[in-house]
A and B are shown apart, each in its own frame.
Chain A
Amino acid sequence: MEGSTRGWSLTGLRGFSIRLEPRLEVRRGLRYAVPVSSLVIALILGMVPMRMQGVNPIIGYRDMVVLAFGSAYGISETIMKAIPLMLAGLGVALAFRMLVWNIGAEGQLYMGAFASCLVAYTLPDAPAWALLPAMLAAGFVGGALWGAIPGALKAFLGVNEIITSLMLNYVAIQWINYLVIGPWQDPTSLGFPRTTRLSPSATLPTITEAWYLPTVAFLVIGGVVVLYWIVRRAHSNRERLKAGIGFLCLAVLSLGSIWFLNGRRVHLGLVLSLAAAAVLSLLLSRTRWGFEIRVIGENARAARYAGMSLKRNIILVMMVSGGLAGLAGMSEIAGNLHLIKRMFSPGYGYTAIIVAWLAKLNPWGVILVSLLLGGLYRGSDAIPGAPKALGMMLQAVIFFVLIGGDVLVRYRVRWERGT
């Protein structure tokens, strides 16, 4: 075969064919153009089922954008939907990096909520400074243990983790269903399937003006450290510039968001998600463990020859992944709902899969994509009919188009005449 016949033909028609050839280098512009155009194409495709349901798609989309991003209140509600997506999405992205297909984030989220509430209900009189960290830890552990089951089954017995993690979703949801109409049901709920409200010390605080002072103090200390680093430690002006601009952005963003979110429902879970993204991105890029995850994901055999333990890493990754999903459940309950009700998650754990993939498994990408899909969740409330389902369907269309669009990033499409 000569060099120009790399790749493969899409049509076998005589005299005319479309071929896909691998690109030697991926152009930078393309890497961003493809996701954006995928989104546009997906929204256009999504018009078909909307039309079938008797909704004018243009007006529908306008209403969705206005509801999700058109006002400060709308944006803060969008962030509320994005917080669980961020945490669960980070977990899923971590697992997918190692090609461990954890699709049990939904169940891990429920079990995280369960474990954190277990702590809250057994220690009703604990002060917030002790209770909230304990609930946080319990949420993480609850999700991590639930994730460890498919992890251990995969590592030791080679059982397919896709099926087991998914089956455990149904088990976890039934467990919560049992609790909310059984032992944990609020006696004053008149038969509604929900638990007693969490005490104020068990709820995550919302972002308020009172945060200005600590934030400014944090920024001053951080500023001194960054300044010291810029003057004494940085190796080049380019590094100095990056650090300076990064720090300025952090200061403006943190103070700006306190101003913007003051008095709204957005809670500490947002800070938790951002911190988790920062930790995860450092973990993946700077530590030996992150390196192992990348190597195992790219070439498990090579990793084994290099002496990395697949079994240990599979279980560990499933636990951290499940733990992050558990945190999503904890923050949703302690920050947003303040009680557990039947089916309290509208599929956040499943959307987290889409979030992770759209973000190309990049932690900061997860944060951005979560905001977008959170907007979809929020915005689809504007469409009459079955709102939750519309958001889910549009997400999946975006997902499909992006999987197809990825091909265009990696391959060049060539039209050929004659064979």
Chain B
Amino acid sequence: MTELAAFVVIILSAGIAAGTPILYGALGEIFAERSGILNLGVEGMMLVGALAGIVGGLATGSAVFGALAAMAAGGLLSLIHAFISITLRGDQVVSGLALTIFGTGLSAFLGFPYVNVPAPKFSALPIPLLESVPFIGPIFFQHDATVYLAFVLLPISWFWIGKTRPGLHLRAVGENPEAADALGVNVAVIRYVYTVVGGVLCGLGGAALSLAYTPGWIENMTAGWGWIAVGLVIFAAWNPWRAAFGAYLFGAISRVVFDVQMLPTAGLPQLVKVLLTPEILRMMPYAAVILILIFASREAVRRRVGAPAALGRPYTREEAEA
């Protein structure tokens, strides 16, 4: 294996590891948005999930139970958003922002005693036989359980949304709740269910961060990854496969950014030196999100794909108010 190939394998493998928390967040948001609920609280739910994973892991001594606690925490938080946006018909943008601020504050406040406390974690679990396949093995099959779970969830999500009857109801509620209601689908229940499913996945994404990718709790450890997940959902045009591509791409970018700052800079021009400082490099994933959204908006116009038609719009059966 040449040196370049080895480098590519490392980057791709690291991209998948780093992209997994983002992928869970994006998958969760896809479910919520497909039902018509815009939940901008992904960042907050991931943070609380990350902390709940640590607390649950420490309490039970098992990372699996930690992840379950994280899922429960994410689900509970999303229930607040569901209540405000579905039952009370509040503004979904504002409620989602509130959820993110709440999650950030709550996790920082309650997480204070847990900063850098060693906790159980998901350790690497190479899959026998598959791990030794050249290229494919090291890229895909030498990770921890959270990564594999995402591999499994991807086709399931795609199949569920696109090919099953409940998935049809989900899409109908997000695209045309009036028609769905007329056909006897309970719009409110469906939206509640998928908003909570989204919250559970975001919580799991937080756990994938704090129990697997960067083990341990640090205040505000998601550093905007939840927001990147929300942005990726737009880039992905609400499709799980494209979300996976985007998430792994971002994982790879963040890894490259990390590696490049190790390069020796002596003798390089001043401008390149500046570009290679850690702070400037750390801007790159965020700037990349903006670029990717610009690209997605051009493509959306060209391919005529768009958000679920009822996204962000509360549904009232008896349209009494104008």
A158: nearest chain-B partner, CB-CB = B297
* B175 vs chain A, min Cβ distance (A): 19
Rounded to whole angstroms, the CA-CA distance of A159 and B105 in the bound complex is: 29
The stretch of A169-177, A194-202, A307-315 in contact with B is: A169-177
A154-185 contacts to B (CB < 8 Å): 157-160, 162-164, 166-168, 170-171, 174-175, 177-178, 181-182
Interface residue range, chain A: 35 or more
Residue pair B106, A49 in contact (C-beta under 8 Å): yes
Residue pair B110, A52 in contact (C-beta under 8 Å): yes
Picked from B97, B108, B287, the residue with its CB within 8 Å of the CB of A353 is B97
Residue pair A6, B320 in contact (C-beta under 8 Å): yes
Picked from B88, B101, B224, B320, the residue with its CB within 8 Å of the CB of A404 is B88
Chain B residue numbers with a CB within 8 Å of A6 are 318, 320-321
Given contacts A163-B234, A170-B224, contact A10 B101 (CB under 8 A): no
Residue pair B318, A1 in contact (C-beta under 8 Å): yes
A406 at the interface (CB under 8 A from B): yes
Given contacts A163-B230, A167-B224, A177-B279, contact A389 B102 (CB under 8 A): no
B59 at the interface (CB under 8 A from A): no
A53 at the interface (CB under 8 A from B): yes
* A6 vs chain B, min Cβ distance (A): 4
Rounded to whole angstroms, the CA-CA distance of A319 and B152 in the bound complex is: 45
Q: How would residues 304 to 321 of chain B score, 1 for a CB under 8 Å from any chain A CB and 0 otherwise?
A: 000000000000111011
Picked from B93, B101, B228, B230, the residue with its CB within 8 Å of the CB of A354 is B101
Rounded to whole angstroms, the CA-CA distance of A184 and B114 in the bound complex is: 35
The stretch of B15-23, B64-72, B288-296 in contact with A is: B288-296
Residue pair A167, B286 in contact (C-beta under 8 Å): yes
Picked from B87, B274, B294, the residue with its CB within 8 Å of the CB of A10 is B87
Q: How would residues 205 to 222 of chain B score, 1 for a CB under 8 Å from any chain A CB and 0 otherwise?
A: 000000000000001000
Can you name 23 A-B residue pairings with CB atoms under 8 Å? A7-B318, A52-B110, A159-B293, A159-B297, A160-B234, A163-B227, A167-B289, A170-B223, A170-B283, A174-B279, A174-B282, A386-B108, A389-B109, A389-B112, A391-B105, A392-B104, A393-B102, A397-B102, A399-B102, A400-B84, A400-B95, A404-B84, A404-B88
A residues with a Cβ closer than 8 A to B are 1, 5-8, 10, 20, 22, 49, 52-53, 101, 103, 153, 157-160, 162-164, 166-168, 170-171, 174-175, 177-178, 181-182, 350, 353-354, 357, 385-386, 388-397, 399-400, 403-404, 406-407
